[in-house]
A and B are shown apart, each in its own frame.
Chain A
Amino acid sequence: MQDRKTDVLVIGAGPAGSMTAKWAAKGGADVLLIEKRQEIGSPVRCGEGMSKDWLPEVGITPGRWINLEVEGARIFSPSEKVFEINEKHAGNEVGYVVERDGFDKQLAIDAANEGVEVKLKCAALGLLKDHGRVVGAKVKEFGETYEVHAPVTVGADGFESQVGRWAGIPTNIAMRDMDTCLQYRMANVDCDVRYCDFYLGKVAPGGYVWVFPKAEGLANVGIGVQVSQVKSPADARTHLDRWIDHHPGYAKGKKIDMVGGGVSISPPLKQTVADGILLVGDAARMIDPLTGGGIANGCIAGKICGQVAAEAVQAGDPSKEFFQKYEKGWRARLEEKLYRNWLAKEKLVSLSDETFDKVIDALAGVQLQKLSVHNILKAVRDKYPEVTKEFEAFL
């Protein structure tokens, strides 16, 4: 097949890639979006929970991909004391439960409607470089290999990202900075459609068990375990199966689907751009390290990424200096929270099950009008003064 040219080449049509492509096209660039799978969004590797307040910011309108809207989250301590949090305060996985493949497809449709060319079964095999600058990629589409030349290339290739590594941008993650995840979709379970549930403590070392309801009786039941805390192979599966066995409302359920995957729970990367290349979404390790949610952050950064990509094309300057606009832009919007939540996660995984129980118990006992550090501390101090010190360090 003949080599071809485009202004912006986006590798990977997940949420981050489609968003980037759409906003680059809106900015006037000629955009090619390539996806190695045959079907965008499938197979789904996701708990399918997302907050909703950010959708207008990036231009996504709610559609048929929404399964249901939850009121909030329930946090269960190791002895299953419960603390409820209103949806608004519950982090970036709580708000809607969605049909993730439908969501991903909708974003690709939005991109296509802006004039983006989309190619399926088209995998990037490596980057093209000219004097160290990235100038496109070698791709394989339906078995045929050719080159795509582009002044701007975007790596939106998800958790497994190769693009960043090919570009020489350090994206490696340590075992302590990754969760290994497994999830079943389960029918005939006693889930509560009003809540997304999170079970913390030893049930999921360094992570949590989640139950995100899809409909009455139907839920995504999954687990994330910090890789550095894995004791033996298949620990994620062993812990999830054990959790299900110990919960009669789920043990009676039937598994109808199984997915797995990796989630980065790292502090933000130091660098996400180089000459001719930008990284976005999971490829740039933008997942919230506390919640494990990555859809919102990928889309928010994707919008900025697409805008800057188009501007760079227009300015004829795809240099890493020009791309600082993206680097600064996404950091201004997301970095502080990513960093704060990474610190919180580091502390959280070090709390003992007993402390956990006490904290959740203290919080459960009071109606917190507002979820502020002050209010939380006060509740804990009033009921369990002995754990205040350990917990204070956490906040």
Chain B
Amino acid sequence: MPNKKSLHIESSGQLCIYCGACVGICPLNCIYLDETRITFDEKVCTRCEVCVKACPVGAIEIG
């Protein structure tokens, strides 16, 4: 997907507190939280940035 911006979830625990806020709000249901592992489906994600705003600690970056 060359024209899509990149989305990065800092999921190593340096920022992410595994709270699930992004999971609950993603309109496309493409973020997965498994205890202390968080991933998202690159192909489904539309880069709408809703999750970026929903994250209380700023662990998601789209650029």
A contacts, CB < 8 Å to B: 36-38, 43, 45, 123, 158-162, 165, 172-173, 175, 178, 180-182, 225, 227-228, 230, 232-237, 258-262, 264
Chain B residues near A235: list those with CB within 8 A: 53
- Tell me whether B58 and A234 are in contact (CB under 8 A): yes
Contact A178 B29 (CB under 8 A): no
Q: Write out the residue numbers on chain A whose beta carbons fall within 8 Å of the beta carbon of B55.
A: 180, 233-234
- Given the complex of chains A and B, what is the CA–CA distance between A185 and B18 in angstroms? 17
A3 to B25 alpha-carbon distance, docked (Å): 32
B17 contacts A259, C-beta separation under 8 Å: yes
B53 touches A230 (CB 8 A): yes
- Across the interface, B25 reaches (CB within 8 A) one of A227, A232, A233, namely A227
Inter-chain CB contacts under 8 Å: number: 84
Query: Contact: B35 with A37, CB < 8 Å?
Result: yes
Closest beta carbon of chain A to B7's beta carbon, Å: 13
Kindly identify which residue among A165, A175, A261 contacts B20, using a CB–CB cutoff of 8 Å: A261
For chain B, residues 40 to 54, give those with C-beta under 8 angstroms from any C-beta of chain A. Answer: 50, 52-54
Q: Are B19 and A259 in contact (CB under 8 A)?
A: yes
Whether B54 lies near A45 (C-beta < 8 A) is no
Q: Is the CB of B53 within 8 A of A165?
A: no
Interface centre among A37, A158, A160, A227, by most B CB within 10 Å? Answer: A160
Main secondary structure of the interface of A (DSSP, over half): mixed
B13 at the interface (CB under 8 A from A): no
B33 partner residues in chain A, CB cutoff 8 A: 160
Q: Is the CB of B29 within 8 A of A227?
A: no
Assess A172 versus B20: contact at CB under 8 Å? Given A37-B35, A180-B56, A260-B57: no
CB-CB < 8 A to B19: which residues of A? Answer: 45, 181, 259-262
Q: Across the interface, do A178 and B24 meet the contact criterion of CB distance under 8 Å?
A: yes
Shortest A198–chain B CB gap in Å is 18
* 10 cross-chain pairs, A with B, having the tightest CB-CB distances, nearest first: A234-B58, A260-B19, A233-B58, A236-B56, A262-B21, A182-B56, A160-B23, A160-B20, A230-B53, A260-B56
- Residue of B21, B50, B61 with most chain A CB atoms under a 10 A cut-off: B21
Assess the B52–A262 pair: CB atoms within 8 A: no
Residue pairs across A and B with Cβ atoms less than 8 A apart, 9 shown, are A123-B34, A160-B24, A160-B33, A234-B56, A234-B57, A237-B56, A260-B17, A261-B19, A262-B21
Could you tell me if A182 and B57 are in contact, using CB atoms closer than 8 angstroms? yes
Residues on B with beta carbons closer than 8 Å to the beta carbon of A236: 56-57
Name the distance in Å between B44's Cβ and chain A's nearest Cβ: 13
